[in-house]
Amino acid sequence: MTKPRSTALAAAFLCAPFAVSADDLPVLAHSGGILIEDGYARAAGANAKSGAAFMAITNETEADDRLIEARGDAAKRIELHTHVLTDGVAKMMQMEDGIPLPAGETVMLERGGLHVMFMGLNGPFEEGADVDVTLVFETAGEIDVAIPVDLTRAPRK
């Protein structure tokens, strides 16, 4: 009788749902000590001329790195941007020196802050599609990512 009981317990364990912690984010890429997670891209609508991508980038190494470029075919220009508040007005500004990635830390690219900006879209960002981008890091080199388009996602809190 022990065998059927242990088989039933094993089957129940295998079929049970596994808890996923809030720290388990969808991984887009993991290369050269750089972990890219929880990414999504969006544009304001089908006729939008620009769009943006957001993600969490973790530098798992013991040395600082820097995201220095993003490239791809989704737009005529792809730049690294941030928002700055000047005289009470929020404006986007290109990060000409790139985005610093301190050793052992996660940098959030999110709405209202750092992000990858697509200007002069070559086509609409369609829900469920991916935007292919090569992120270029000063030390880690080039990392290709397929960023899912999510037009309904609310900003992170």
Domain positions in the chain: 25-148
Of 96 and 8, which is predicted with more confidence? 96
Is there a contact between 143 and 137 (Cβ–Cβ < 8 Å)?
yes
Mean pLDDT of 91-100: 95
Query: Residue 18 pLDDT > 70, yes or no?
Result: no
Buried/exposed code over 113-145 (b: 16+ C-beta within 10 A; e: otherwise): ebbbbbeebeeebeeeebbebebbbeebeebeb
Distance of CA 42 to the CA centre of its chain: 11
Note the pTM of the prediction, 2 decimals. Answer: 0.82
Mean pLDDT of 114-133: 96
CATH superfamily of 25-148: PCu(A)C copper chaperone (2.60.40.1890)
Both tokens of residue 139? 């030390």
Query: Residue 21 pLDDT > 60, yes or no?
Result: no
Single out the residue of 156, 157, 78, 63 nearest to residue 116, CA to CA: 78
Q: Worst-scoring range by mean pLDDT, 6-10, 75-79, 124-128?
A: 6-10
